[in-house]
C-alpha cells in the first residue's frame, strides 16, 4: 500500500485564486505526519494541465495505490461535489448526471467531504467579520453562498448555511443569523426582509467563498447594490484554519478512521 492524496477545488482564471489554494494545500502537505505522503492540488476546470485526471495520473505515476480525494468546496450542496463523486464511482445524490464521465484510476479511492459547517471554519468566519461588529446584540448576520436551483442540492445548501449561521451567531453573540443564495437570486430580497422585520439591527454580510475573486468582489456587491449593510468581502483563504481542515481529513484517513 502506498497512500496519496488528491485535493480538488473549482479553479479560476485568476492566478491569485489558484495560488491561494495551492499555498493552503502545500501547507497542509508539509504537516510532519504527512510529509512522506504525495499530495497533489488539482482543479475541476479552467487550470489547464492540472485538471483532476492530471492529478490522478501524477499520483499513480508516483506509485500510489490508495488515494484520498478531498473536495475543497464550501458545501455538500454543490453539484460539483456530486459530479466529481460520480466520476469516481460514488453513488449519485440525485438523478442529475455530471459531465465528467468516469476517471481513469487504478488506486483504491476514498472520497472525502466538503467544508459545510465545520466548527473551525466557523471560527475563521467569525474572525473575518469581527472588525465590522460594534454591538453584536444589535446586529444580524446574512450568510451568502453560491447555492443551487436543484431541489436536493438546494436543501443541502440551506441546511449547511443554517447550521453554520447558528455557529457564527453563537460565537459572536449576534442577535440572529439568516442566509441567502446567489443561485437562486435571494440575497437582496432576504436583506430587505431582515431590515423590514428588525429595522433596529445592523446587518453584516458574510460571504461563503474559498478565495476572494469574482463572486466576493463583484457579484455579492452588485446583488446588494443600493442597500445598507456592512461588508468587507473577506473569504476563507488565506487562513490556517483551511490548512488544518485539510490536515484533519488527511490524518483521519491515514489512521483508518472515517473522513469527516
| CB contact at 8 A, 72 and 21 | yes
The CATH architecture assigned to 119-223 reads 3-Layer(aba) Sandwich (3.40)
CB distance 253 to 259 below 8 Å: yes
* Across 41-67, average pLDDT: 96
- CA dihedral sign of residues 162, 208, 247, 65: positive
d(CA 180, CA 47): 29
Domain layout of the chain by residue ranges: 3-115+239-254, 119-223
Cell of 58: 501524477
165 and 179 Cβ atoms separated by less than 8 Å: yes
d(C-alpha 52, C-alpha 50), whole Å: 7
Q: Cell 461535489 belongs to which residue?
A: 81
Q: Which three cell numbers stand for residue 95?
A: 438523478
CATH fold, domain 3-115+239-254, is Rossmann fold (3.40.50)
In this prediction, residues 26-30 reach a mean pLDDT of 95
Strand ranges for the chain from DSSP E: 3-9, 39-43, 66-71, 108-111, 139-145, 176-181, 202-207
Residue 82 near residue 157 (C-beta atoms within 8 A): no
DSSP characters for 214-230? HIIIIIHHHHTTT---B
Q: Is 143 exposed, middle or buried (0-12, 13-18, 19+ CB in 10 A)?
A: buried
Residue 173 has pLDDT above 90, yes or no: yes
> What is the spatial distance between Cα 196 and Cα 151, in angstroms, rounded to a whole number?
28
d(CA 69, CA 84) in angstroms, rounded, equals 10
Does 119-223 match 3-115+239-254 at the fold level?
yes
Query: pLDDT tens-digit profile of 181-234?
Result: 999 999 999 999 999 999 999 999 999 999 988 899 999 999 999 999 999 999
* pTM for the predicted model, two decimal places: 0.91
Which three three-digit cell numbers place residue 76? Answer: 455538500
Look at 5 and 257; give whichever has higher pLDDT. Answer: 5
pLDDT of 30 > 50? The answer is yes
Q: Is the pLDDT of residue 257 over 60?
A: no
* Nearest-angstrom CA–CA distance, 260 and 257: 9
pLDDT in tens, 58-104: 999 999 999 999 999 999 999 999 999 999 999 888 877 888 899 99
Amino acid at each position: 500500500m502506498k497512500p496519496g492524496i488528491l485535493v480538488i477545488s473549482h479553479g479560476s482564471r485568476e492566478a491569485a485564486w489558484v495560488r491561494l489554494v495551492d499555498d493552503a494545500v502545500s501547507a497542509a502537505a508539509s504537516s510532519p505526519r504527512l510529509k512522506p505522503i504525495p499530495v497533489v492540488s488539482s482543479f475541476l476546470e479552467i487550470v489547464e494541465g492540472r485538471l483532476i485526471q492530471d492529478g490522478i495520473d501524477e499520483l499513480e505515476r508516483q506509485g500510489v495505490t490508495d488515494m484520498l480525494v478531498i473536495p475543497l468546496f464550501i458545501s455538500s450542496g454543490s453539484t460539483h461535489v456530486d459530479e466529481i463523486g460520480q466520476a469516481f464511482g460514488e453513488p449519485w445524490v440525485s438523478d442529475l448526471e455530471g459531465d465528467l464521465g468516469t476517471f481513469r484510476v487504478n488506486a483504491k479511492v476514498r472520497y472525502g467531504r466538503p467544508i459545510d459547517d465545520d466548527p473551525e471554519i466557523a471560527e475563521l468566519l467569525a474572525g473575518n467579520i469581527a472588525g465590522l461588529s460594534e454591538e453584536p446584540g444589535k446586529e444580524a448576520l446574512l450568510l451568502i453562498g453560491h447555492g443551487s436551483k436543484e431541489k436536493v442540492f438546494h436543501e443541502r445548501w440551506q441546511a449547511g448555511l443554517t447550521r453554520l449561521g447558528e455557529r457564527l451567531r453563537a460565537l459572536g453573540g449576534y442577535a440572529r443569523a439568516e442566509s441567502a443564495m446567489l443561485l437562486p437570486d435571494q440575497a437582496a430580497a432576504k436583506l430587505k426582509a431582515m431590515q423590514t422585520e428588525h429595522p433596529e439591527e445592523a446587518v453584516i454580510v458574510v460571504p461563503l467563498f474559498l478565495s476572494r475573486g469574482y463572486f466576493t468582489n463583484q457579484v455579492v456587491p452588485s446583488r446588494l447594490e443600493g442597500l445598507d449593510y456592512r461588508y468587507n468581502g473577506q473569504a476563507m483563504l488565506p487562513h490556517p484554519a483551511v490548512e488544518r481542515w485539510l490536515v484533519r481529513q488527511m490524518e483521519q484517513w491515514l489512521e483508518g478512521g472515517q473522513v469527516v
